[in-house]
Structure 1
Amino acid sequence: MRPRSVLAPLAATLTAGLAAVTCAAGPAAAQHAPAHNACSPAVSIERFSDALDKTTYEGTFVGNLSALAVDRDGAIAALSDRSALFTLDPKTLRPRSVVPLADEGGAALDSEGLVVDRDGTRLVSSETEPSVRRYGRDGTLLARLPVPDALRVAPAGRATANQTFEALTLLPGGRTLLAGMEGSLSGDTAGVVRLQTWQRDGHRDFRLAAQYGYRTDTGLGVVESAATPDGRLLVLERGFTAGVGNTVRLYLADLRHATDTSRVEALTGQDGVRLVRKTLLADIADCPSLGATAKQPQPNPLLDNIEGMAVTGTARGALRVLLVSDDNQGATQTTRFYSLRVRP
């Protein structure tokens, strides 16, 4: 999918949709952000919506949302980490379909990352093994991508359970797929995570390709990435401290000049290994709260357990970015959508 062909018309549609949904969510969530509602010089927040919080659709809980993607028709695909894939109306963000997902044995996934490929099939990462699988629009399992042994959860590999493939994105041109590990491998320096890529040459199937090291902020992990039209990455880093709340920071990352670490056994700060360069765009705690309320302590009541991100459009040189929080189907967290304008 070529980002510019879909994203430009989608921007106005999604903006109208979020406005409609926020108005339906009540006075607090109906706050609109003028252009000066800056989180930083590069990022401003336009609005948020809690309208889908603690709702159901056709008997399926609408929550646990961990990833977002733009479908070929402009709809929003939203992935639950409980093996459900929703299609959301781009005008209202209300669900209009849901399909269940499963592995080869029919078991549920810990589904965390989502890409809509150029043929309309869905690429879904799961933290369990970890894995990346391809599904049809109806949820039919079609294929599974190879994963390096080192990235597998111990004892099969060097990864820690629940710290694997959280982020998944397809770079412009559709030939490079990237998955981000949330946490470090055993033997790597704490805070340095691996970004794995796959390449294809005109065919549907991907083959293993370069791998890169990315250093997270202390106490944070990579929970999502989204490619920008120029081939760089928006990266979400997130952490949680009991009694304090979430930390969520948005970075711009550049893979150029980074070392291919696929043959590097341990990333320990050794000479000659260049990590991915990153630039802080915004700490979401610095955004205006827009009247949001939190169900547990937070540095900013706007914050929650943000995990999903998609670039949905462009406007006057800025990217429109949609975020979503994972409520873990719990009473102290909220399914919340955030509409940002980002100038990378």
Structure 2
Amino acid sequence: MRLRTVLATVTAGLAAATCLTAGPAAAATRQDHACSSAVSLDRFSDALDKTTYQGAYVGNLSALAADRHGDLAALSDRSSLFTLDRRTLRPTGVTPLADENGGALDSEGLAVDFDGTRLVTSETEPSVRRYSRDGRVLERLAVPSALRVAPAGRATANQTFEGLTLLPGGRTLLASMEYALAGDSAGIVRFQTWQRTGDGPFRLAAQYAYRADDGLGVPEVQATPDGRLLVLERGFTSGVGNTVRLYLADPRQATDTGKVEHLTGQSGVRLIRKTLLTDLAACPSLGATAKQPQPNPLLDNIEGMTITGRDTRGALRVLLVSDDNENPAQTTRFYYLRVRTGL
């Protein structure tokens, strides 16, 4: 999503954070820095900030996904898909993306399927397309009419499919809207799913409703190995900075809202349950610096997230990335978290 200002209430002190000394910003390395009882920050890296690769700007990063070959796929919202070495973050490839007519995408969500093809959302329509590894469009999934950008539907431009994830087993694909549809209550965002049988095509399936905190939107969602979701919520206030919170959410008992025209708090609709894991403002800064006001200099416009594995104690290793919007006042920053979900 291109940077814009939204009203957000910045809260701090959700959990005690331990600030310890750290090395240079690009290589802070201490373990177990607590952001909360559930989340710790291992380190961060600014290594790719304001860099290029084969003439492509390595920034505007809106999504991450673990590649089956062991590398990372990193999606730019300017129609580029990078391959990164997982250990060093060094770019090893870049693939341009386009729609069926060769037009640019506002590419925001990314998932890598079992066969190595890439599923990519674009906020423009919105859309979900399948791409080959060399960037050819292979398939375009159906999208409910209400989720389309007005006047075709009730979504607002630049506020549609931001997150994309495959649930365990690979049979269900889930995309998260960033903000509410016209006619829905503020803060209520819709999560759309598609299902498939075997290796067949994805077809429209259940839809769920999720309530974001006041003034925040949903830039990313990732499925955990047990079928729950890690959900990022984010906002920006000029002169104050970013609010970024990480939630654990469970859609398994939520109501299918696909046929509910307007979500306005009516009885009988069970929202996706969520539990706060941390507000990232509570993380130790580890020597990070910010180019504009922030409640914690570690923060920036965090927009991408993927789960890369588990540590020896069973905590999820979660990698986040910020979208610098190709703006000198922002930073492309990677964040290495450990997340405990046994709540």
Segment of structure 1 superposing worse, 26-35 or 90-99: 26-35
1:128-165, Cα deviation, whole Å (9 max, x unpaired): 00000000000011110000000000000000000000
Partner of 1:10: none
Q: 1:216 aligns with which of 212, 218, 229?
A: 212
AA aligned to 1:338 is Y
Distance in 1, matches of 2:220 and 2:265, equals 24
Distance in 2, matches of 1:90 and 1:291, equals 23
Distance in 1, matches of 2:337 and 2:167, equals 21
Distance in 1, matches of 2:301 and 2:338, equals 20
Distance in 2, matches of 1:109 and 1:204, equals 26
1:3-38, Cα deviation, whole Å (9 max, x unpaired): xxxxxxxxxxxxxxxxxxxx9xx8233222222x10
Question: 1:248, CA displacement in angstroms?
Answer: 0.2
- TM-score when normalising by structure 2: 0.92
Q: 1:291 aligns with which of 287, 290, 293?
A: 287
Distance in 2, matches of 1:242 and 1:281, equals 25
Partner of 2:6: none
Partner of 1:118: 114
Partner of 2:123: 127
Equivalent positions of 1:75-86 (< 5 A) are: 75-86=71-82
Q: 1:29 aligns with which of 26, 35, 43?
A: 26
Equivalent positions of 1:220-239 (< 5 A) are: 220-239=216-235
Greater share of helix residues, 1 or 2?
1
SS at match of 1:123: strand
Partner of 1:276: 272
Percent identical residues: 77
Q: 2:262 aligns with which of 262, 266, 271?
A: 266
Distance in 1, matches of 2:135 and 2:200, equals 17
Partner of 2:339: 342
Distance in 2, matches of 1:28 and 1:198, equals 41
SS at match of 2:271: coil
AA aligned to 1:323 is L
AA aligned to 1:342 is V
Equivalent positions of 1:243-254 (< 5 A) are: 243-254=239-250
Partner of 1:43: 39
Partner of 1:137: 133
AA aligned to 2:107 is S
Question: 1:48, CA displacement in angstroms?
Answer: 0.2
SS at match of 2:27: coil
Segment of structure 1 superposing worse, 200-209 or 43-52: 200-209
1:117-136, Cα deviation, whole Å (9 max, x unpaired): 00110000000000000000
How many aligned positions are there?
319
Distance in 1, matches of 2:320 and 2:87, equals 16
Partner of 1:317: 314
Partner of 2:60: 64
AA aligned to 2:29 is H
SS at match of 1:29: helix
SS at match of 1:150: helix
SS at match of 2:25: coil
1:179-198, Cα deviation, whole Å (9 max, x unpaired): 00000000000000000000
Partner of 2:19: none
Question: 1:291, CA displacement in angstroms?
Answer: 0.3
- Off by >3 Å, runs of 4+ in structure 1: none
Equivalent positions of 1:178-193 (< 5 A) are: 178-193=174-189
The 8 Å contact of residues 29 and 291 in structure 1, kept in 2 or not, is answered as no
AA aligned to 1:95 is P
Structure 1: 5+ residue runs without aligned partners? 1-22
The 8 Å contact of residues 25 and 46 in structure 2, kept in 1 or not, is answered as no
The 8 Å contact of residues 178 and 219 in structure 2, kept in 1 or not, is answered as yes
Question: 1:80, CA displacement in angstroms?
Answer: 0.2
SS at match of 1:257: coil
Q: Is the alpha carbon distance of 1:204 and 1:137 closer, same or farther for their aligned partners in structure 2, counting shifts above 3 Å? A: farther
- TM-score when normalising by structure 1: 0.92
Distance in 2, matches of 1:61 and 1:29, equals 19
Question: 1:317, CA displacement in angstroms?
Answer: 1.2
Distance in 2, matches of 1:150 and 1:244, equals 34
SS at match of 1:273: coil
